Amino acid sequence: MRILGLLAVSTFFAASCAGGAENPSIPADALDPALVSTGRDVAVLRCSQCHALDGISHSPNPSAPPMAKLLERYDADMLASDLIEGIRVGHDEMPEFDLQVMEADALVAYLRSLR
């Protein structure tokens, strides 16, 4: 029985090491300061007219949640995909966005950094 337990633990650690030391709930790109900075730039340019860029301020548009709350409402990967495909997400007043892959990935990294 003890051998099976050790085998299970060693298998777990081997699988963990195979993917690197990153936490699976926090993607590596969310920790990349350059990508997060680019994402903030995208948010300022594309989102700040309606959304508060942090979790403290009130959004200029009361229908638009603060950026810090978006990932409580949307799956990060689905949000990025929807923004790349040009699908309108969010409230009725939200414009349709057609972001480049890099912009969407950077924006999601910024959103993840706000948690």
Q: So what's the pLDDT on residue 6?
A: 33
Provide the whole-model pTM.
Answer: 0.69
Q: What angle do CA 25, 32, 14 make, to 5 degrees?
A: 45
pLDDT surpasses 50 at 56: yes
Q: So what's the pLDDT on residue 44?
A: 96
Q: So what's the pLDDT on residue 24?
A: 40
pLDDT surpasses 80 at 18: no
Quote the CA–CA distance of 47 and 53 in Å, as a whole number: 8
Element of type H or E holding 84: helix 76-85
Q: So what's the pLDDT on residue 111?
A: 94
**Average of per-residue pLDDT across 38-43:** 96
**Domain residues of the chain, as ranges?**
28-113
Structure confidence at residue 10 as a pLDDT band (50, 70, 90): very low
What superfamily in CATH does domain 28-113 come from?
A: Cytochrome c-like domain (1.10.760.10)
Q: What digits encode the pLDDT tens for the residues 59-108?
A: 999 888 899 999 998 899 998 888 888 776 666 677 877 789 999 999 99
